[in-house]
Structure 1
């Protein structure tokens, strides 16, 4: 008897996505929605689209964006994140799991608050670490300078794409950021 061909297996998630999924599971009680997550791969250079949205059920990426890291994380402005910090006034990016919070209109226009869920980022609200659009994040800057600008620790994306990012990663979802060793 001939067996039917096996269904194709989904590719295993990258180690960073696997870590983000584990964080989603460990923080399940804080999340209103678990069907989509945002993952920021701070091991990648700032010229790369390193902020990726994932459809968890489908097991695949649905969109990727340029995203800034903090000035304090890259003092030499090399385009690579050199260090994380959760210290107020550090102007650095923090790692770990963030609960995507309320939207508001602020200095950079439409923005979304982030609540740090881990000891490495639990001061995110106090530090005003949020998602927002910024003119210093643009493909034109990559073309001209080989990198984008830096934030004060916020997850800054292209100004004209912030609405799309906020719609695709709504309140109650998980944003996970880290840099894994190569």
Structure 2
């Protein structure tokens, strides 16, 4: 019998075996053993600590957009009842230029991310610099609004398959009235960026490459969060 089996059987005699060891490790819960168990354990060699393998949370904290993700997590707690699905979140990181893959869909369970080009509104970048200059929630501003969005119904419109959005913050609560949605557009394709050095501009919508819109909508679906902002 190896040491690990011996320890597990010793602990199970106290009824602790009903809690899987993997659960205890995941929770980081300290287990206080009575003297009757500590006595035989004390005669065993002191185990060598094994470095913990970084989990998904540790991996996400190292991402370049980790601070924006922190804001999104805080927003999810603030609007907790609005989101039935909390496994995945999308981040529109408008610190980055439009030529960069700045729309990140993050799996909060596995730690995996998928990143895409995304447009910002013409009103947020009047000179078409390729960088978002300002946000606006005003009707007819043609600008991008910052804040927390909930993904809604999927439909087929003038841009093809699209997804409606509901703005949950004061900074974006006109999203539905402004028809701010997720849709595909040729001006956000890789070929457009390659030719012009930047993506085109939307009227405030989250426009992505048309050949990727089905993938983006498939990963998000209704009931998840999109968080847009600059840190």
Bin of the TM-score, shorter chain as denominator length: over 0.9
**Separation in 2, partners of 1:100, 1:169:** 8
Give runs of aligned pairs for residues 107-126 of structure 1, distance below 5 A.
Answer: 107-126=158-177
Name the TM-score, length of structure 1 as normaliser: 0.95
**Separation in 2, partners of 1:161, 1:143:** 17
Give runs of aligned pairs for residues 5-84 of structure 1, distance below 5 A.
Answer: 5-9=50-54, 10-11=58-59, 12=61, 14-58=66-110, 60-84=111-135
What secondary structure, in the 3-state scheme, does the structure 2 residue paired with 1:114 have? strand
CA contact (8 A) 2:159 2:183 kept: yes
Q: 1:8 Cα shift?
A: 2.6
Tell me the C-alpha RMSD between the 2 structures.
1.0
Between 1 and 2, higher relative CO (CA 8 Å, sep ≥ 6) is seen in 1
Q: 1:106 Cα shift?
A: 0.8
**Separation in 2, partners of 1:21, 1:47:** 26
Q: Give the structure with the higher percent helix.
A: 2
Name the TM-score, length of structure 2 as normaliser: 0.75
Q: Give the structure with the higher percent strand.
A: 1
**Separation in 2, partners of 1:112, 1:61:** 23
Q: How many pairs does the alignment contain?
A: 179
5+ residue gaps, structure 2, are 1-45
CA contact (8 A) 2:186 2:192 kept: no
5+ residue gaps, structure 1, are none
Q: Give the ranges of 4+ consecutive aligned residues of structure 1 lying more than 6 Å apart after TM superposition.
A: none
What secondary structure, in the 3-state scheme, does the structure 2 residue paired with 1:18 have? helix
Q: 1:3 Cα shift?
A: 2.7
Pair member with larger Rg? 2
**Separation in 1, partners of 2:73, 2:143:** 24
Q: Which residue of 2 aligns with 1:130?
A: 181
Q: Which residue of 1 aligns with 2:11?
A: none
Matched, 1:87 2:138: yes
Deviations 1:142-172 (A, max 9, x none): 1111101000000000011111100001100
